[in-house]
Structure 1
Amino acid sequence: MKDRLPHEKGFHVSWDQLHRDARALAWRIDGQGPNEGRWRAVVAITRGGMAPAMIVSRELDIRMVDTISVKSYNHQTQAAPRIIKTPDMEVVGDGTGVLIVDDLVDTGRTLEVVKALMPKAHVATVYAKPKGKPMVDTYITEVSQDTWIFFPWDMALQYVEPYRGA
């Protein structure tokens, strides 16, 4: 078998699969909020968390939705995370009753920065890798640390060589 680059051990997620998994995430956290089971706000981690956050907020009928922008990747290279946009802190406060939603937790470094800002928030991701799992309260699917997840917004249809070669 030929050697593969790290990004070649890929987990490809379609729009349909992301939608199903984000709905499953909403169902898993439904009724767990601190206000008679309800959540008061959703904060999406941009950009990857925006699609799942929209689905979660729709499923749970949460109208207060904001974003936090954390830059931690340059294409497929991870760097030190830094916040480039915060949510309305008057609304989210310490995070009580707030769902932080992202597509994936990888190493957990992005969530460390976010949780420092909103320490009482509930963190929910669609996908989780082992190193980042301790930073997440709820997730749907675990993938291995060496798997690269290809999200639908990153893909185009094209020919792919068979796994064992042509």
Structure 2
Amino acid sequence: MSSPNTVSSAPAHAPEASAPDYATITWDQLHRDARTLAATLMRECSQNGAIKGLVAISRGGLIPAAIVARETGSRLVETVCIASYEGEEGTQGEPNLLKAPVAAGDGEGFVVIDDLVDSGVTAKEVRALLPKAVFACLYAKPKGQPQTDYYVTPIAQKTWVLFPWDTAPMFVAPLAHKS
């Protein structure tokens, strides 16, 4: 497999440290990144034929896949459900396939969509199920980058990404009020 294609020139986050950094992704940023990914997929995948459909990795890939489906005109959206993380800032365990992407066959003509490729464990599992699919995600950490064909933004390995569906807006006191 060739090296993954980064579709934007956004810089990686701060150098790795012992404690994780946090990157908060807003709805606006997620939407922009999903549209950027869709444009790239339309350009790149059209060289090898039309996109037959998408496979969203549940749960993180569901919203990005909906945006990519809209932008590419894809009507067939399948899901693959794999559980591997536990807890709020969970540790990754062995992947557990909960639902296979039956409609995608061997993946030919399909694009697998996820929000983030982190360690690459989930992506590797999906690649085994869909060996002919193209794999694309919005954000990629160094350990997972070899498992994706396209991604929009690189993220440092120790950065914990806070997606808009995992967070809620809240009041933050001004700096002047902090002791």
TM-score range, shorter chain: 0.7 to 0.9
Say if 1:31 and 1:37, in contact at 8 Å, map to a contact too. no
- Counterparts of 1:119 and 1:81, CA distance in 2: 17
Partner of 1:136: 148
Change (3 A) 1:137 1:4: closer
Match of 2:97 among 79, 83, 86: 83
Per-residue CA shift, 1:20-62, capped at 9, x if unaligned?
Answer: 0000000111133368642001000000000000011110001
Match of 1:100 among 104, 109, 112: 112
Letter in 2 for 1:103: D
SS at match of 2:55: strand
Change (3 A) 1:16 1:112: same
Identity %: 45
Partner of 2:13: none
Structure 1: 5+ residue stretches without partners: none
- Counterparts of 1:94 and 1:142, CA distance in 2: 28
| Bigger RCO (CA 8 Å, 6+ sep) | 2
1:160 offset after TM fit, Å?
5.3
- Counterparts of 2:41 and 2:47, CA distance in 1: 13
- Counterparts of 1:158 and 1:69, CA distance in 2: 31
Q: What pairs with 1:16-95 in structure 2 (closer than 5 Å)?
A: 16-33=28-45, 37-75=49-87, 76-77=89-90, 78-88=92-102, 91-95=103-107
**How many equivalent residue pairs?**
158
Structure 2: 5+ residue stretches without partners: 1-16
CA RMSD after TM alignment: 2.1
1:4 offset after TM fit, Å?
7.4
Q: TM-score under structure 1 normalisation?
A: 0.88
Per-residue CA shift, 1:82-110, capped at 9, x if unaligned?
Answer: 1111122xx31111110000000000000
Structure 1 stretches of 4+ moved >2 Å: 3-6, 31-37, 158-162
More moved, 60-69 vs 153-162: 153-162
